[in-house]
Amino acid sequence: MNDNFAVIGGSGAYELLKNEGFGVDLECRKIITPFGESASIHRFKSEAKASHYSFLFISRHGETGYEISAPFVNYRANIWALKECGVERIISWSGPGIINKKYSVGDFVIPHDIIDETRGREYTFFGGTGIGFIRQSHPFCSEIRDAVSAALEATRESYHNEGVYVCTQGPRLETAAEIRKFRILGGDMVGMTLAPEVFLSRELEMCYASVCYLTNYAEGVEDRDYTEGELFEGMQNNHERDRVDKSILKFPEIIKRTFKRLAQVNKGCICKNAMGRYKRRGDIGEDWHTWIRS
Ligand SMILES: [Zn+2]
């Protein structure tokens, strides 16, 4: 496998790709990494002759249901494995909840910044070394963000060009008091998956950005009765569920357009030189495998 692009999807994304005529699933394998086994990596290829592309796909939570929740995903194994496959750009698909009421359920957001509220996750490849002091002026790749923005514009989706993503530990949802705290801190949406993925990708000099579809209002943002048998026990009404379902169906189209756009731009972003300082100083060599301590 040697592919430039990868998609990291949440629950249901794999089925969508398979069912939407997105391409051919050529192969699937797990990769043994210094951090354990990665999730299954698929290679998709477009069937259309006019637009050639292939990409790798990895599912965070399992491919058929919700087999592993966010705190227990092996983020280091997944990111290491994608790097090993030659991936340079990663698009992450995720469905956070709304903190900022300027957003509506079903809207898309391209986060530009992140507050990491996770606890106890394995957040670096550089444990026990002196490297990894990486500036986070733009934690998400600006070039991918621009491409996603153009894709959403072209598909006429309701979207927001920036937003601050708060990443919580989970698997429990947040309390109303926690959501109030995140709002004061400047958080716009809350989920459990983008950290440490975004930081690990930068450590290995890969571009990473996310396209988020908003699934529900976070606790306390809207008054919602506790209702058994509904998503998150009543945090999403029927109208909102319809909107989210429609947004999710746009996933293949958004990804396709984003790839097309990215194929036309040269990597002018900062991501690929994240470790430049250490290379120039001679602390590390060009082979990224040697940077890592497991
Ligand atoms: Zn980049």
- Enumerate residues with CB within 5 Å of ligand 1 (an ion): 141, 143, 207, 269, 271
Which of the residue ranges 18-22, 170-174, 192-196, 228-232 would you say has the lowest mean pLDDT? 18-22
What percent of the chain is predicted at pLDDT more than 90? 71
**Tokens found for residue 9:** 């999807």
pLDDT band at residue 121 using 50, 70 and 90 as cut-offs: very high
What is the arithmetic mean of pLDDT over 106-126? 97
- The rounded distance, in Å, linking the Cα atoms of 124 and 112 is 21
Segment 12-19 shows an average pLDDT of 76
* Residue 101 pLDDT > 60: yes
d(CA 193, CA 165): 10
Q: Report pLDDT for 1.
A: 38
Q: Which domains does the chain have, with CATH numbers?
A: 5-125+138-285 (3.40.50.1580)
Q: Among 16-25, 216-225, 227-236, 253-262, name the one with the lowest average pLDDT.
A: 16-25
Report the separation in Å between the CA atom of 272 and the middle of ligand 1, taken as the mean of its atom positions. Answer: 6
pLDDT at position 257 over 70: yes
- Please state the rounded mean pLDDT for residues 235-263: 91
Q: How far is the CA of 54 from the centre of ligand 1 (A)?
A: 19
pLDDT of residue 20: 64
Ligand 1 centre distance from Cα of residue 242 (Å): 34
Centroid of chain to Cα 61: 12
Dihedral sign, CA of 106, 112, 115, 119?
positive
Which of 9-18, 90-99, 209-218 is predicted least confidently?
9-18
Instruction: Round to whole Å and give the CA distance between 178 and 167.
Output: 12
Task: Report the pLDDT value the prediction gives residue 51, as an integer from 0 to 100.
Answer: 62
Check whether 50 has a pLDDT greater than 80. no
Please give the distance, rounded to the nearest whole angstrom, from the Cα atom of residue 205 to the centre of ligand 1.
8
Most confident region among 66-80, 98-112, 230-244, 262-276 by mean pLDDT:
98-112
- pLDDT (average), residues 85-100: 96
Q: What is the pLDDT, as a whole number, of residue 142?
A: 96
Name the band, by pLDDT with cuts 50, 70 and 90, for residue 37: very high
Distance from Cα 44 to the centre of ligand 1, integer Å? 22
pLDDT at 252: 86
Cis peptide before 196 (omega within 30 of 0): yes
CA 164 / ligand 1 centre spacing (Å):
18
- If phi > 0 it is left, if psi is from -120 to 50 it is alpha, else beta; for residue 150 that is alpha
Say what the pLDDT of residue 256 is: 87
Query: In the prediction, which pLDDT does 156 show?
Result: 87
d(CA 98, CA 188): 7
What is the Cα–Cα distance from 268 to 65, expressed in whole angstroms? 38
Better pLDDT: 34 or 252: 34
Question: What integer pLDDT is reported at residue 3 of this predicted model?
Answer: 58
pLDDT score recorded for residue 43: 87
